[in-house]
């Protein structure tokens, strides 16, 4: 399948957000990646549902909502109401992960699990078949612009082996430190979805950069 590119809105220009949204609309990007941070699970606060709702009114591509929050179950329905087409929750925050994933799927949208850098992929062995997506964090969550963690490649490869062994259709998404230099290596390891923040929005020609990521 073709690589899915999901520019991270966290790195966009919030003083002129509509311009960056239209740029993504007009590019080869596939999804909008939206990081919702609570300042508790991660050491930062980003944006909430009013901003997501405003983006959904302009966006012409699916909203990939990444809940970097404690107790994500409380906010699944609200996320759907404001336009989420994909919701991912952290393994580290869900006491009853199977129930949480099923709750998301009950809204007929894609459901995924996120793993922090320290969390091994083997923890998903008994739930992988109901996950549409597994998002591998290649930096510690909370801030953009961090250095890519090299261990990510082997982690992706292990997850790919698990997916193939179980004959699942689960997509592997990677978030953190994705660049034009490492994109092809990530795809070769097994990644299907690349989240790119600074690489896209700090580019002098973001539409071209998105196109280059797409072809990596």
What are the helix and strand counts (H, E) for the chain? 8, 8
Q: DSSP strand E in the chain: where?
A: 4-7, 32-37, 63-68, 84-90, 110-115, 133-137, 171-175, 193-196
Q: What is each CA distance from 94 to 71, 162, 204, in whole angstroms?
A: 7, 21, 40
| List 35, 38, 64, 132, catalytic entry | 35
Per DSSP, what are the bridge partners of residue 173?
Answer: 135, 193
Tokens of 117: 């850098």
Those residues whose C-beta lies under 8 Å from the C-beta of residue 70, and which sit 6 or more positions away, are 38, 40, 41, 93
Q: 35 catalytic, yes or no?
A: yes
Q: Tell me whether residue 107 is exposed, middle or buried, using C-beta atoms within 10 angstroms of its C-beta: 0 to 12, 13 to 18, 19 or more.
A: middle
Q: Which of 30, 64, 132, 175 is catalytic?
A: 175
Q: Which residues form the catalytic set? A: 35, 175
């Amino acid at each position: 399948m073709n690589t899915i590119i999901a520019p991270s809105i966290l790195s966009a220009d919030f003083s002129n957000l509509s311009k960056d949204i239209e740029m993504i609309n007009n590019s080869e990007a596939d999804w909008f990646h939206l990081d919702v941070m609570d300042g508790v699970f991660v050491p930062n606060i980003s944006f909430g549902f009013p901003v997501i709702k405003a983006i959904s009114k302009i966006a012409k591509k699916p909203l990939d909502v990444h809940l970097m929050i404690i107790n994500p179950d409380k906010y699944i329905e609200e996320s759907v109401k404001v336009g989420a087409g994909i919701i991912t929750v952290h393994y580290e925050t869900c006491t009853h992960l199977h129930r949480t994933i099923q709750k998301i799927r009950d809204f007929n949208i894609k459901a995924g699990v996120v793993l922090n850098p320290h969390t091994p992929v083997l923890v998903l062995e008994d739930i992988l078949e109901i996950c549409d997506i597994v998002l591998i964090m290649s930096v510690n969550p909370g801030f953009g612009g961090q250095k890519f963690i090299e261990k990510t490649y082997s982690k992706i490869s292990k997850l790919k082996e698990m997916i193939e062994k179980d004959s699942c259709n689960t997509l592997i998404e990677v978030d953190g430190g994705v660049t034009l230099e490492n994109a092809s290596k990530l795809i070769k390891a097994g990644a299907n979805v690349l989240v790119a923040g600074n690489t896209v929005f700090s580019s002098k020609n973001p539409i071209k950069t998105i196109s280059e990521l797409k072809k990596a």
